[in-house]
Amino acid sequence: MKKIIQSFLPIFILSSQVFAIAGFGLQVGQSTFSVDKSTSPLLIDNPAGGDQLNVGSFTQNSFSNGYGVGGYLYIDAIPVIDIDIEGSIMGSLYDFSFANVVDTVDQQFGWGAASGYITLQKKIFKLNIPLLAKAKLSAGVGINKHTSTPMIDQRMLEAVISGGDLENGNLDTDELITYLDNNKISASGFHIQAGLQFKLLMLDSFLFYRQVIVDDVIPGAKGFSSLNLRLGMGF
């Protein structure tokens, strides 16, 4: 056993002398944002013709924040800067209701987004713990691309409920998938971020804050922020 440890020790020591030239792993995070409550008329066709009839209201309640998961890959072999590539998804649940003079129906739906990030980072501060570990503070800027789902409304419900009967019809899953695909929201933006990387032998961990500037991904907002934790391997 002693010989085995001695044979692997130089590899561990070498890996701890410098930060990994590349690495990959998993990421979790919480995004901070808020979406306001909105209410619109609940309209039906007029049997006598002419304008639609207002028979009630459709309400999408406010909600805030989302949780995400994803993966990352970074390259630290280029002088001066590091390249970081990330793919992630995030989502949140919210309540909605539609009401007429007789009844109110309360339900819950989900909002989600798939995102990709490319970031150029630069080291600001580095701390060495001889033989075993290193810590590094970095900051960076980059570009991002997002695809998010639309908010639920009367038009969506009528498209995905069999027969368009909001009170008695059943959800058609295939129609829901088709609707979300046909009405997805795509947007691109940029971001800034800063965080701490801690490396123990070949194990990597990151904790960083990111501010994303992008329109339309979050309804009614021009961006969002997030706090993220990564765990992975460097080599």
The DSSP annotation for 177-190 comes to HHHHHHT-EEEEEE
Q: Please, is 197 exposed, middle or buried when counting C-beta atoms within 10 Å of its C-beta (0-12, 13-18, 19+)?
A: buried
Amino acid 20: pLDDT: 61
pLDDT at 120: 96
Q: How many Å is the Cα radius of gyration of the chain?
A: 25
* pLDDT tens for each residue of 203-232: 899 999 999 999 989 988 999 999 999 999
Q: Is 191 left (phi over 0), alpha (psi -120 to 50) or beta?
A: beta
Q: Residue 103: phi, psi to the nearest 5?
A: -150, 160
What does the pLDDT average to over 190-211? 93
And the tokens for 230?
């990564």
CATH 3.30.70.120 fits 2-37+64-149+184-234, yes or no: no
Q: How much is the pLDDT for 13? A: 40
Predicted local distance difference test score (pLDDT) of residue 165? 65
Q: Which tens digits make up the pLDDT trace of 54-71?
A: 888 889 999 999 999 999
* pLDDT single digits (tens) 92-127: 999 999 887 778 888 899 999 999 999 999 999 888
Percentage of residues in the chain having pLDDT higher than 90: 54
Q: Is the pLDDT of residue 136 over 70?
A: yes
Instruction: Say what the pLDDT of residue 149 is.
Output: 95
pLDDT tier at 199, thresholds 50, 70, 90: confident
Distance of alpha carbon 137 from the chain centroid: 23
Q: Is the pLDDT assigned to residue 171 strictly greater than 70?
A: yes
Q: What is the pLDDT of residue 17?
A: 42
- Tell me if residue 121 falls in helix, strand or coil: strand
Whether the per-residue pLDDT at 9 is higher than 60: the answer is no
**Is the pLDDT confidence value at 148 over 90?**
yes
Task: Judge whether residue 195 has pLDDT over 50.
Answer: yes
* pLDDT (mean) for 48-53: 81
pTM for the structure as a whole: 0.84
Q: By three-state DSSP, how is residue 132 classified?
A: coil
| Whether 24 contacts 233, CB under 8 Å | yes
Under 8 Å between Cβ of 123 and 136: yes
CA–CA distance, 214 with 223 (Å, rounded to integer): 5
Q: What is the DSSP string of 26-88?
A: EEEEEEEEEE--EEEEEEE--TTSSSPEEEEEEEE--EEEEEEEEEEEEE--SSSEEEEEEEE
